[in-house]
Chain A
Amino acid sequence: MQKKTLRKLGASIFAGAVALSGLMAIAPAQAATKTIGIAYSLGGREVPGFNQLAYIGVKPILGKNKAIKLIESQDSPTGTDDQRTERLRLMAKRGANPIVVVGFTYASALAKVAPEFPKVQWGIVDDSSVKAPNVQGIVFKEEEGSYLVGLAAAMTTKTGSVGFIGGVNTPLIKKFEAGYIAGAKAINPKIKIQSTYISNFPDFSGFNDPAKGYEAAKGMYQNGADVVYAAAGGTGTGMHKAASELKKWSIGVDADEATYPAHAAYKSTILTSMLKRVDLGVRAFVNDSLAGKKTAGIKTWGFKQGGVGYTKTGGYLKDVSAVIDNYGSEIARGKVVVPTDPTKA
Chain B
Amino acid sequence: MTKNRIFWAVAAPVAAILNSLLFIYIILKIRGVDPLSMFSLMISYGFDPRNLVSELNQTIAYYLAGVAAAIGFKMLLFNIGIDGQYRMGAFFGAVVGGAVALPPVLHVLLIVITAMIAGGLWAAIAGYLKVRRGVNEVISNIMLNFIAAAVISYLLLPSMLGTLPEGSQTAQTFPIPASGQMPTIKAFDGEIYSFLFVAIFVGIAYWVMLNKTVFGFNLKATGLSFRAARASGVNAPRMIFVTTVLSGAIAGLVGIGTLLSDTHKYSMAFPAGYAFTGLALALLGRNHPVGIFFAAFLWSFLERSAPVLEFEGVPPEIVIVMQGTIVLSIVIAYEVVARINLRQQQRAVGSVSAEAQPIKESN
* A26 at interface, CB cutoff 8 A: yes
**Cβ B7 vs Cβ A127 within 8 A:** no
Residues in A whose Cβ lies below 8 Å from that of B165? 129
**Cβ B304 vs Cβ A86 within 8 A:** yes
**Cβ B270 vs Cβ A90 within 8 A:** no
**Cβ B40 vs Cβ A24 within 8 A:** yes
Cβ contact of A82, chosen from B36, B57, B164, cutoff 8 A: B57
**Cβ B37 vs Cβ A83 within 8 A:** no
Task: Bits for B258-287, please: 1 = Cβ < 8 Å to A, else 0.
Answer: 100011000111111110010000000000
Task: Bits for B182-225, please: 1 = Cβ < 8 Å to A, else 0.
Answer: 00000000000000000000000000000000000000000000
**Cβ A86 vs Cβ B169 within 8 A:** no
**Cβ B268 vs Cβ A81 within 8 A:** no
**Cβ A23 vs Cβ B272 within 8 A:** no
Given contacts A28-B312, A82-B258, A203-B272, contact A127 B167 (CB under 8 A): yes
Min CB–CB distance B256 → chain A (angstroms): 13
Cβ contact of A105, chosen from B58, B158, B268, B303, cutoff 8 A: B268
**Cβ A23 vs Cβ B40 within 8 A:** yes
Min CB–CB distance A40 → chain B (angstroms): 10
Given contacts A9-B14, A80-B58, A86-B51, contact A298 B312 (CB under 8 A): no
Residues in B whose Cβ lies below 8 Å from that of A104? 168-170, 268
Min CB–CB distance B26 → chain A (angstroms): 17
**Cβ A86 vs Cβ B54 within 8 A:** yes
* B126 at interface, CB cutoff 8 A: no
Residues in B whose Cβ lies below 8 Å from that of A244? none
**Cβ A108 vs Cβ B269 within 8 A:** yes
**Cβ B310 vs Cβ A129 within 8 A:** no
The answer for the CA separation of A204 and B271 in the assembled complex, in Å, is 10
**Cβ A203 vs Cβ B303 within 8 A:** no
The answer for the CA separation of A94 and B40 in the assembled complex, in Å, is 18
Task: Bits for A64-93, please: 1 = Cβ < 8 Å to B, else 0.
Answer: 000000011110111111111011001100
Residues 89-140 (chain B) with a chain A CB within 8 angstroms: none
* A223 at interface, CB cutoff 8 A: no
Residues in B whose Cβ lies below 8 Å from that of A21? 40
Residues in B whose Cβ lies below 8 Å from that of A171? 158, 164, 169, 171
How many residue-residue contacts, CB under 8 A, span A and B? 148
**Cβ A107 vs Cβ B168 within 8 A:** yes
**Cβ A107 vs Cβ B258 within 8 A:** no
Given contacts A82-B262, A202-B268, A202-B272, contact A71 B311 (CB under 8 A): yes
Min CB–CB distance B62 → chain A (angstroms): 9
Min CB–CB distance B159 → chain A (angstroms): 9
Task: Bits for B128-162, please: 1 = Cβ < 8 Å to A, else 0.
Answer: 00000000000000000010011011101010000
**Cβ A26 vs Cβ B268 within 8 A:** no
Cβ contact of A83, chosen from B14, B58, B171, B273, cutoff 8 A: B58
**Cβ A83 vs Cβ B303 within 8 A:** yes
**Cβ A24 vs Cβ B262 within 8 A:** no
* B39 at interface, CB cutoff 8 A: yes
The answer for the CA separation of A148 and B295 in the assembled complex, in Å, is 53
Residues in B whose Cβ lies below 8 Å from that of A83? 54, 58, 303-304
The answer for the CA separation of A313 and B156 in the assembled complex, in Å, is 39
Residues 6-49 (chain B) with a chain A CB within 8 angstroms: 7, 11, 14, 36-37, 39-41, 43-44
Residues in B whose Cβ lies below 8 Å from that of A90? 307-308, 311
Given contacts A72-B310, A128-B167, A201-B153, contact A81 B263 (CB under 8 A): yes
* A326 at interface, CB cutoff 8 A: no
**Cβ B167 vs Cβ A298 within 8 A:** yes
Cβ contact of A27, chosen from B36, B44, B164, B268, cutoff 8 A: B44
The answer for the CA separation of A285 and B316 in the assembled complex, in Å, is 27
The answer for the CA separation of A251 and B179 in the assembled complex, in Å, is 50
Main secondary structure of the interface of B (DSSP, over half): helix
**Cβ A80 vs Cβ B258 within 8 A:** yes
Residues 236-270 (chain B) with a chain A CB within 8 angstroms: 258, 262-263, 267-270
The answer for the CA separation of A128 and B158 in the assembled complex, in Å, is 18
- The CB with the most chain A CB atoms within 10 A, among B37, B57, B167, is that of B167
Q: What residue in chain B is nearest A94 (Cβ atoms)? A: B311
* B361 at interface, CB cutoff 8 A: no
Residues in B whose Cβ lies below 8 Å from that of A139? 167
* A169 at interface, CB cutoff 8 A: yes
**Cβ A201 vs Cβ B303 within 8 A:** no
Given contacts A78-B303, A86-B304, contact A201 B316 (CB under 8 A): no
Min CB–CB distance B128 → chain A (angstroms): 24
- The CB with the most chain B CB atoms within 10 A, among A28, A82, A90, A200, is that of A82
Given contacts A83-B303, A201-B268, contact A105 B170 (CB under 8 A): yes
Min CB–CB distance A89 → chain B (angstroms): 9
The answer for the CA separation of A200 and B158 in the assembled complex, in Å, is 15
* A172 at interface, CB cutoff 8 A: yes
Q: What residue in chain B is nearest A6 (Cβ atoms)? A: B7
Q: What residue in chain B is nearest A17 (Cβ atoms)? A: B43
**Cβ A78 vs Cβ B273 within 8 A:** yes
Residues in A whose Cβ lies below 8 Å from that of B154? 200
Min CB–CB distance A296 → chain B (angstroms): 14
Cβ contact of B149, chosen from A28, A170, A201, cutoff 8 A: A201
Cβ contact of A200, chosen from B57, B150, B170, B303, cutoff 8 A: B150
Residues 23-43 (chain A) with a chain B CB within 8 angstroms: 23-24, 26-28
Residues in A whose Cβ lies below 8 Å from that of B11? 9
The answer for the CA separation of A78 and B355 in the assembled complex, in Å, is 58
* B362 at interface, CB cutoff 8 A: no
**Cβ A78 vs Cβ B272 within 8 A:** yes
Residues in A whose Cβ lies below 8 Å from that of B4? 2
Residues in B whose Cβ lies below 8 Å from that of A74? 310, 316
* A144 at interface, CB cutoff 8 A: no
Cβ contact of A204, chosen from B57, B167, B272, cutoff 8 A: B272
Min CB–CB distance A277 → chain B (angstroms): 18
Given contacts A79-B271, A87-B307, A170-B268, contact A202 B40 (CB under 8 A): no
Q: What residue in chain A is nearest B269 (Cβ atoms)? A: A105
Q: Can you name 27 A-B pairs with beta carbons within 8 Å?
A: A2-B4, A2-B7, A20-B36, A21-B40, A23-B37, A23-B39, A24-B43, A71-B311, A72-B310, A73-B310, A73-B311, A76-B306, A80-B61, A81-B262, A83-B304, A104-B268, A105-B170, A105-B268, A107-B168, A107-B169, A169-B153, A170-B268, A171-B171, A201-B156, A202-B149, A203-B146, A203-B272
Closest 3 CB pairs of A and B: A128-B167, A129-B168, A200-B153
